[in-house]
């Protein structure tokens, strides 16, 4: 599974250029689930491109709100489902840090969509927590949101160390692999029905380092920010994942 998170980037012209660059570089195979999460206002534009004709390409949302109603600026789970979004990212570290999202809100969001569409829950430690060897404690705490929830195969975890996002720094592939194993074990022992989720890695993934991550047993794919803004680079990463390049 390879997911593009465009964050608050892009415009109509970029979507056309991105689509052309992606389609001229992507080697078609149905192997990987490919997701693109544009800013919500562009979801419909992307659904209208040729990308949407490829079965393996799925358009999703970067977040949802905890409910509908009098919540100015928000987008509800019902709305993204209305647009046929096939996944939503939840709990990205930028949501936690810039918008003060807490575990209880994140849990409410998961409860809203987990049974209806794929939920990509982001977790990750800060640099300070990493230096103080608190990574596993922090992740375990963030994973408490899945406690006692009956999850089907729709839950995916994205391990995104905050210090690796947009910095060019990453943990070693082996370190990530060990953390992913830990995450799978924690989710299996805390969810109501012993779910064993896919775990994606996110944080400065690019076409040069992708292969080193994808070789690892417990790295099931990637969540990509910066490198996903270029259709060619994003296609190349998928080709590497699919082994077609
Ligand atoms: P990055 O972002 O690939 O630019 O590091 C990843 C993310 O925030 O999901």
The residue nearest atom 7 of ligand 1, judged by CA position, is: 225
Could you tell me the distance, in angstroms and rounded to a whole number, from the CA of residue 62 to the centre of ligand 1? 12
* Alpha-carbon gap, residue 160 to 154, rounded angstroms: 19
Residue whose C-alpha is closest to residue 97's, from 131, 136, 127, 134 = 127
* Alpha-carbon gap, residue 55 to 7, rounded angstroms: 23
User: For position 110, what pLDDT does the model report?
Assistant: 94
* Alpha-carbon gap, residue 180 to 199, rounded angstroms: 6
Q: What is the 3-state secondary structure (H, E, C) of 12-73?
A: HHHHHHHHHHHHHHCCCCCCCCEEEECCHHHHHHHHCCHHHHCCCEEECECCCCCCCCCCCC
Could you tell me the distance, in angstroms and rounded to a whole number, from the CA of residue 202 to the centre of ligand 1? 6
Average pLDDT over residues 107-134: 95
Percent of the chain at pLDDT exceeding 70: 100
Residue 193 banded pLDDT, cuts 50, 70, 90: confident
Q: What is the pTM of this model?
A: 0.96
Q: Which atom of ligand 1 is nearest to the CA of 224?
A: 3
Quick check: 229 pLDDT over 90? yes
User: For position 152, what pLDDT does the model report?
Assistant: 72
Quick check: 194 pLDDT over 90? no
Q: In what order do the strands lie in the sheet with 198-202?
A: 57-59, 34-37, 2-5, 222-224, 198-202, 155-159, 118-123, 87-90
Q: How far is CA 143 from the centre of its chain?
A: 15
Average pLDDT over residues 178-193: 91
CB-defined site of ligand 1, < 6 Å: 5, 160, 165-166, 202-205, 223-227
Could you tell me the distance, in angstroms and rounded to a whole number, from the CA of residue 112 to the centre of ligand 1? 25
Average pLDDT over residues 10-23: 95
Average pLDDT, the chain: 95
The residue nearest atom 6 of ligand 1, judged by CA position, is: 225
Query: Considering 94, 160, 180, 216, which one is annotated as catalytic?
Result: 160
Q: How many residues does the chain have?
A: 245
Residue whose C-alpha is closest to residue 52's, from 14, 29, 23 = 23
The radius of gyration of the chain's CA atoms, rounded to the nearest angstrom, is: 17
Residue 29 tokens read as 């195979």
Could you tell me the distance, in angstroms and rounded to a whole number, from the CA of residue 173 to the centre of ligand 1? 16
178 annotated active-site:
no
Among the residue ranges 23-32, 162-171, 192-201, the one predicted with the least confidence is: 192-201
91-117 as b/e: b if 16+ CB within 10 A: bbbbbbeeeebeeebbbebbebbbeeb
User: For position 30, what pLDDT does the model report?
Assistant: 85
Average pLDDT over residues 50-73: 94
C-beta separation of 122 from 90 below 8 A: yes
Quick check: 37 pLDDT over 80? yes
The residue nearest atom 1 of ligand 1, judged by CA position, is: 225
Question: Which residues are within 8 A (CB) of 186 and not within 5 positions of it... i.e. 6 or more apart?
Answer: 139, 140, 143
C-beta separation of 156 from 39 below 8 A: no
Mutate to test the pocket of ligand 1, among 61, 164, 222, 225 (most ligand atoms within 8 A of CB): 225
Give tens-digit pLDDT for 82-103. 999 999 999 999 999 999 999 9
User: For position 153, what pLDDT does the model report?
Assistant: 73
Angle at 71 between CA 66 and CA 75, to 5 degrees: 60
**3-class secondary structure, 190:** helix
Could you tell me the distance, in angstroms and rounded to a whole number, from the CA of residue 13 to the centre of ligand 1? 22
Among the residue ranges 70-74, 129-133, 187-191, 199-203, the one predicted with the least confidence is: 187-191
180 annotated active-site:
no
């Amino acid at each position: 599974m390879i997911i593009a998170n465009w964050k608050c980037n892009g415009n109509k012209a970029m979507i056309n250029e991105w689509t052309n660059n992606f389609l001229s570089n992507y080697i078609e195979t149905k192997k990987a689930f490919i997701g693109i999460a544009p800013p919500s206002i562009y979801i419909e534009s992307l659904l209208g491109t040729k990308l949407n004709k490829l079965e393996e390409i799925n358009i999703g949302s970067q977040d949802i709100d905890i409910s509908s109603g009098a919540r100015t600026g928000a987008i509800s789970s019902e709305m993204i489902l209305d647009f046929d979004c096939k996944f939503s990212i939840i709990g990205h570290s930028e949501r936690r840090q810039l918008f003060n999202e807490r575990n209880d809100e994140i849990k409410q969001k998961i409860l809203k969509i987990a049974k209806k569409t794929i939920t990509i829950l982001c977790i990750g430690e800060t640099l300070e927590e990493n230096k103080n060897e608190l990574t596993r404690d922090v992740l375990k705490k963030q994973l408490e949101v899945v406690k006692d929830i009956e999850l089907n195969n729709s839950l995916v975890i994205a391990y995104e160390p905050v210090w690796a996002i947009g910095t060019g720094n990453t943990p070693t592939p082996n370190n990530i692999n060990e953390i992913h194993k830990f995450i799978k074990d924690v989710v299996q022992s805390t969810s109501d029905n012993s779910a064993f989720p896919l775990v994606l890695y996110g944080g400065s993934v690019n076409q040069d380092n992708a292969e080193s991550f994808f070789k690892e047993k417990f790295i099931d794919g990637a969540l990509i920010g910066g490198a996903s803004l270029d259709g060619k680079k994003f296609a190349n990463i998928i080709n590497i994942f699919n082994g077609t390049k």
